[in-house]
Amino acid sequence: METISILPPELIRMLIAVIIIISFLFLNAIMMGYLERKIAGHVQRRPGPMEVGFHGILQMVVDGVKLLGKELLIPFNVDRTLFRVAPLLSFTPVILPLLVIPFSEKLQARDLSLGLIFIVSMGSVNVMALLVAGWGSNNKYSMFGAMRAVAQSIAFEIPILLSMLAVVLMCNTFSLKEIVGAQQKIWFVVLQPVAFLIYVIAGVAETNRAPFDLPEAESELTAGFHTEYSGMGFSLFFIGEYTNMFIVASVATVLFLGGWHGPNLPYGEYLGVVWFFLKVYFLLFLMIMIRWTYPRVRFDQLLNFAWKYLVPFSFVNILITAVLVKL
């Protein structure tokens, strides 16, 4: 490629990418926090945050500063190491998948040939954080939250993988860039509507968002796994959750919504990122709307839903896809 000469050497390139991604991650958390509160406000027929800045736009910044200024409470009888490690464990693994996500044709930190597998494996580390947080807190409510998180994560990873597999079968690659490239003419959401639906539902569950927010379930478990956390520990979970949402939505965009493809823009190989972000935030908007509309499902109902409906449907979907691809 002719642009390779003007790019810095690989290592520096990666470093810059990581810095950009981490700062984006915080920015994303702030934007998502603001969006969530604003959308929630409008869903509930109230204005939402209005005081700090124009229409409360700086509210999340102020909140972030407040959380930074809070004392890090460590209750008695907790496992101090695990208790401190857990927020970091929730925050770190979610940075890595962003490295392989193609934001546009040229904006990708690293195109791994097994990119999809990499994202899935990093995504499953997140549940470790919840387990460690719940276990380390030495609190029965946190423990419930952790147990639920593990069971839920195991149950929903299978339909997620299977729905991804349907797409992989169609384009014969795990590289995210090539998957997007294969959607030049037609998005996979048209060819794989069932897989898309399964992916979105399971994705909401995977990120522990309402109506599947059982590890938190504040009316049952007070706050679930992060009951004992305050200050920055709490906000790292918070950022982890929003980043996780962002990753799930970006993967959905890459796999089903044609990634950076859209009406032509000047410098399309870079500005494709506009279409990418529009699609991602549309999905995130849907997830927020769902959260503020539905009650929470019960735990056994959630698992039944995963094992009895999502998994069989995705298997049938894969079977049909495989047969059709072979033809």
Q: Which residues bind other proteins (CB under 8 A)?
A: 40, 43-46, 140-141, 144, 210-211, 213, 217-220, 222, 291-301
Distance of CA 115 to the CA centre of its chain: 16
Distance of CA 16 to the CA centre of its chain: 22
Q: At what angle do helices 80-91 and 115-137 cross, to 10 degrees?
A: 150
Nearest approach, Cβ of residue 222 and other proteins (Å): 6
Instruction: Report the residue number, 3 or 219, with the smaller CB distance to other proteins.
Output: 219
Comparing C-alpha atoms, which of 42, 26, 43, 6 is closest to residue 238? Answer: 26
Q: Helix axis angle, 231-256 relative to 115-137, nearest 10°?
A: 150
Nearer CB in complex with other proteins: 270/285 = 285
| Residue 120 CB neighbours (<10 A) | 17
- Of 64 and 224, nearer to other proteins (C-beta) is 224
Residue 32 or 280 with smaller CB distance to other proteins: 32
3-state helix, strand, coil in the chain (%, to 5): 70, 0, 30
| Contact by Cβ (8 Å): 209, 245 | yes
Residue 45 Cβ vs other proteins, minimum distance, rounded to whole Å: 6
- Least distance from other proteins to the Cβ atom of residue 187, Å: 29
For residue 225, the minimal CB distance to other proteins (Å) is 15
CA distance 139 to 112: 41
Find the shortest distance in angstroms from Cβ 61 to other proteins: 24
Nearer to other proteins, 177 or 291 (CB): 291
